[in-house]
Structure 1
Amino acid sequence: MSKTKKVLVLITAMLLVLCSLSFSGGQKEAEAAEGTFPPGELVIYGYGNPQFLLQYYDDFLERNRDIAPGVAVEIVQTEGEADARQKVTMSYTAAAYDELPDVVFTAPVSMQAMAEAGILEDLSEFVESVRDKFVDGAFDQIFYNGRYYGFPRSFRPKVLFYNIEIFEKYGIDPKEMDTVEGWIEVGRKLKKSSNGEVFLSYIDPGHRTWRYFGRRGFMPQANARIWDDEGDVVIDTDPGAKLAFDTLDTMYKEDLLFKSAIFQPPLYEATRDGKIATYYIGAFWSEFLRQNLPDMEGKWRVMPAPMFEDIGTRGAPTVAIESIVKKPKMPYAELYKKYWLDFHLNGEARNRWTDKMVEQNAPYPNPITPELLADPYWKEPSAYYGGQSFREMEGIGLQNPSENLRVTVKDAEADQIISAEVEKYVAGDQTMDQAIKNMGKVLRDRIGSAPAKK
């Protein structure tokens, strides 16, 4: 063997020894870290106000450094449910797994679409082991094709906010709004007594009228349907849907609704000026009142959503969902399960975080476990609501709920079609009867049918 070859053999042998040592060292490091989660970032795609939840994530990690010594949470703000779904779906379809988050905030329509595409982890075994600790109904809309594809982050009722000063000024008893029919009659009284200056509520010229008055409002309370159990379109023939749309039509035609986009300054200004008496909307609206109208502290009260006289159920609760994204490497799936349980079962930590949210005038939901809800902390009075306990009323709002609309994988597209017809109605381009007729026709032409109920 030549001298050069001997040198090359020696160098090769040394490299093999170094690689072996390096591998051995890595093995020792992994053994030392056994029982912990690897250093890195747990990435969440969120929307709404997810940055406030980050404070709970960080607190949880600090309390659990023994199992997650090098883990941090990053929240990527998305524009909303559809945007989060589209971003996740595009990365998954392109097999760009490194771009995928570990967790995605979502809602029933998008959850079903992502589950159907194989994007979400099946959490059924875990959910079945803990669901009896939660309030009734919290998991209903997370159940799809016999499996659970997420966790509920919150489960919030539909309620009725009202400006008590307006009712006292015009001598109207808020109890008259116990029914939808009574609520509308109150609107007529306010219009007459104020010479048209005070409106019962508002109507959004965009897609949120269908979202808040339709899908999350009158439709479930009227036992309405978009599809029948076989998946055929029935929105234009269903008596419940007719009741829901006719109710909105009555309010709008009688000029009981102030026309303004929700979440925008003109609506807040009109509210501040005493032009809007009530808001029929989810409990989340409390956060927007407090943040945008802090000068109205003490003027607002809240009660359960009014019910249709002939049906007798209150508003349908809205669930916010967190789903674990299914990808080749899922280092933080089990860690996130631990966090989620901590958020819903650790009363001391939950109350401490809520105190921080109150100090920052930030959003926070009620607990969704009977154990935490029984804590007197969740019945404390609120100065913003004139000493009424909004927290307690949010819990009461979950009693006697309406069943949510049946959701299918076709509903994301269906919502766009239905909302477009409602928007044309609000703009004055068609009557409500024409809008309903068009909904049925376009749904049949573009979608045909939805999956049958299982």
Structure 2
Amino acid sequence: MRKKMIAALLTGTMVLSTLAGCGGGNAPKEEKAQETKKAEAGTQAAAKETVYPSGTITIYGTGQPQYLQEYFDAWLERHKDIAPDVKISIVQTEGHAKSREKITMTALSGAVDDLPDATYLDPVNIMELSQGGLLKDETEFLQPYLKDLVDGAANDATVNGKIYGLPESVRPNVLFYNKEIFDKYGIDPAMMSTFDGYMEAGKLLKEKSNGTVYLSYISPGSKTWRYWGRRGLMPQANAKIWDESGNVVIGQDEGTKLALGTLDTMYQQGLLLKSEIMEPALYDAINNGQVATFYIGAFWDEFLRKNCGATSGKWRVMASPEFESVGKAGAPVSSYFCIVNKGDNVYAGLLEQLWHDFQFDAESRNTWVKSMEKQNAPYANPICLKLLQDDFWKAPSDYYGGQSFREMEGKCLENGAANLIITPQDAEADEIISAELETYVAGNQTMEQAIANMDKNLKAKIGQAKIMK
């Protein structure tokens, strides 16, 4: 039976429910608080009493997981009493989808011992693996901690009312801007609080710089849809690919027209430098003062610090511009630490304790972050509300001219837009939509034609998406 469930992952027969998992009940608040404290204390006590067998814990990670290895190794060194001969090995994959594919194929082959013990995943791939019974249900473990985390931290890992991922990070979409450029041309960054003002700032930059300074960039590849579309303009414009029944509506959706129409206006007016993101050519343009802003996820901080040292002290960050008709800031992007359900996963409790300490132990988290900053390496804000109130997470940054990037990242979570509905068809839909945007950026069709083709091809190749009500 389990193999049939796993095989379903490859044929796209799974469905998703993105219900919030913050359960309530009608017990009095004091009684609830006591129950929560007991459950939390019991969980930690049980973990501390266990001595784990020698062996290597394997974790699938993407991006640059070697930096997390630093935290894990130091954590194991401090916990010799419960894990005297345990090691952690992070295996880098090309992305969350690749992690899911490797886990699925390994499980289908019956090689359970070859499955990783844990993996980092995004919501789409959590949905797929949970439906195959391959992720540990973390609802009971996580419930006592939800009140101490940023709002909605577990929402995107909740499938059919159960939580299958431990929240790793919740990062907002923000607006980075080069203050030196705005000062040079006498433009007030405050005007960029709305998208109308953002586009007006772009026009002023173009006029006053004689066309040498661009408002931002546009990618000729798939990342235009990824960052400008799915994670950016679409959720902020309350846009829809599918309706509540899973029918394709992108071609008629007013939110889509607003979102992609805004991108079209900026591109047609010559406000966007055509350059692939995360590539040397764009970094050169940034260092040369040719690109003034980036409307993108907070993760961009890492890439600026690492690749654009020439602009240190010039950048600032503010909340994403808002569409006045919608009034929502940028949508957050969540990542999750998921324990693989591989039968008797002897390290499950140890991994849960590791997650807990990473999120709630201020001393170890702050020590690790200091090391990351020295290396210009990636790190995200904690999701623990108490840690976020610590002065450490409000410290000024030299790279941002004395502004506290960490504090602003936390503030930019306020009034965030809801992300697009997640369906099992999203991976295929992204390829279809991105292909039309790439054709548009290449100058081979208008935005109106691109949206019409998205609609037509989604209906022809996918039809109705599966949405759990």
| Alignment TM-score, normalising by the size of structure 1 | 0.91
Tell me, yes or no, if the aligned pair for 1:119 and 1:325 is still in contact at 8 Å. yes
* One-letter amino acid matched to 1:296: T
Tell me, yes or no, if the aligned pair for 2:96 and 2:121 is still in contact at 8 Å. yes
Counterparts of 1:117 and 1:446 in 2: how far apart (Å)?
Answer: 24
Task: Give the secondary structure class of the aligned counterpart of 1:448.
Answer: coil
Counterparts of 1:242 and 1:432 in 2: how far apart (Å)?
Answer: 9
What does residue 130 of structure 2 align with?
115
What does residue 74 of structure 2 align with?
59
Which of these residues, 186, 196, 203, is aligned with residue 201 of structure 2?
Answer: 186
Q: 1:441 to 1:38 in 2, by over 3 A?
A: same
1:295 is displaced (CA, Å) by 2.3
What does residue 157 of structure 1 align with?
172
Greater Cα offset, 323-332 or 217-226: 323-332
* One-letter amino acid matched to 2:402: G
Write the deviation string for residues 191-218 of structure 1: whole angstroms up to 9, x where unpaired.
1111111100001111111010011000
Tell me, yes or no, if the aligned pair for 1:417 and 1:439 is still in contact at 8 Å. yes
Counterparts of 2:433 and 2:353 in 1: how far apart (Å)?
Answer: 40
Whether 1:331 and 2:324 are equivalent positions in the alignment is no
Counterparts of 1:399 and 1:348 in 2: how far apart (Å)?
Answer: 26
Q: Supply the RMSD in Å over aligned alpha carbons.
A: 1.3
Counterparts of 1:96 and 1:252 in 2: how far apart (Å)?
Answer: 50
Q: Where in structure 2 are the equivalents of 1:14-163 lying within 5 Å?
A: 35-163=50-178
1:448 is displaced (CA, Å) by 1.2
Counterparts of 2:187 and 2:296 in 1: how far apart (Å)?
Answer: 21
Write the deviation string for residues 349-383 of structure 1: whole angstroms up to 9, x where unpaired.
11111111112221111111110001011100000
1:34 is displaced (CA, Å) by 8.1
* One-letter amino acid matched to 1:432: M
Greater Cα offset, 201-210 or 106-115: 106-115
Gaps of 5+ in 1: 1-32
Write the deviation string for residues 295-349 of structure 1: whole angstroms up to 9, x where unpaired.
2211111111111111111000110111111112311111110000000111111
What does residue 10 of structure 1 align with?
none
Tell me, yes or no, if the aligned pair for 2:235 and 2:331 is still in contact at 8 Å. yes
Q: Where in structure 2 are the equivalents of 1:279-428 lying within 5 Å?
A: 279-428=294-443
Whether 1:229 and 2:249 are equivalent positions in the alignment is no
1:112 is displaced (CA, Å) by 0.9
1:418 is displaced (CA, Å) by 1.0
What does residue 15 of structure 2 align with?
none
Task: Give the secondary structure class of the aligned counterpart of 2:267.
Answer: helix
1:276 is displaced (CA, Å) by 0.3
1:54 is displaced (CA, Å) by 0.9
Tell me, yes or no, if the aligned pair for 1:156 and 1:284 is still in contact at 8 Å. yes
* One-letter amino acid matched to 1:397: C
Tell me, yes or no, if the aligned pair for 1:110 and 1:412 is still in contact at 8 Å. no
Tell me, yes or no, if the aligned pair for 2:55 and 2:86 is still in contact at 8 Å. yes
Identical-residue share of aligned pairs (%): 54
Task: Give the secondary structure class of the aligned counterpart of 1:44.
Answer: strand
* One-letter amino acid matched to 2:246: G
What does residue 12 of structure 2 align with?
none
What does residue 7 of structure 1 align with?
none
Task: Give the secondary structure class of the aligned counterpart of 1:445.
Answer: helix
Counterparts of 1:150 and 1:224 in 2: how far apart (Å)?
Answer: 27
Counterparts of 1:417 and 1:39 in 2: how far apart (Å)?
Answer: 47
Counterparts of 1:280 and 1:226 in 2: how far apart (Å)?
Answer: 21
Tell me, yes or no, if the aligned pair for 2:49 and 2:82 is still in contact at 8 Å. no
Whether 1:211 and 2:226 are equivalent positions in the alignment is yes
Q: Where in structure 2 are the equivalents of 1:225-304 lying within 5 Å?
A: 225-304=240-319
| Alignment TM-score, normalising by the size of structure 2 | 0.88
Tell me, yes or no, if the aligned pair for 1:366 and 1:395 is still in contact at 8 Å. yes
Tell me, yes or no, if the aligned pair for 2:217 and 2:294 is still in contact at 8 Å. yes
Write the deviation string for residues 270-316 of structure 1: whole angstroms up to 9, x where unpaired.
11111100000011101100000122211111111111111111000
Write the deviation string for residues 48-68 of structure 1: whole angstroms up to 9, x where unpaired.
111111111111111111111
Task: Give the secondary structure class of the aligned counterpart of 2:453.
Answer: helix
Larger radius of gyration: 1
Write the deviation string for residues 69-123 of structure 1: whole angstroms up to 9, x where unpaired.
1110000011112221221121122222122111111111111111122221221
Greater Cα offset, 226-235 or 118-127: 118-127
Tell me, yes or no, if the aligned pair for 1:229 and 1:453 is still in contact at 8 Å. no
Counterparts of 1:328 and 1:211 in 2: how far apart (Å)?
Answer: 35
Tell me, yes or no, if the aligned pair for 1:268 and 1:292 is still in contact at 8 Å. yes
1:37 is displaced (CA, Å) by 0.8
Counterparts of 2:169 and 2:152 in 1: how far apart (Å)?
Answer: 11
Counterparts of 1:359 and 1:271 in 2: how far apart (Å)?
Answer: 22
Task: Give the secondary structure class of the aligned counterpart of 1:165.
Answer: helix
Task: Give the secondary structure class of the aligned counterpart of 1:41.
Answer: strand
Counterparts of 1:93 and 1:289 in 2: how far apart (Å)?
Answer: 41
Write the deviation string for residues 250-286 of structure 1: whole angstroms up to 9, x where unpaired.
1111111001111100000011111100000011101
Structure 1's consecutive aligned runs of 4 or more residues displaced over 6 angstroms after TM superposition are none
What does residue 187 of structure 2 align with?
172
Counterparts of 1:60 and 1:348 in 2: how far apart (Å)?
Answer: 11
1:385 is displaced (CA, Å) by 0.5
Tell me, yes or no, if the aligned pair for 1:231 and 1:453 is still in contact at 8 Å. no
* One-letter amino acid matched to 2:294: Y
Counterparts of 1:97 and 1:260 in 2: how far apart (Å)?
Answer: 44
* One-letter amino acid matched to 1:441: K
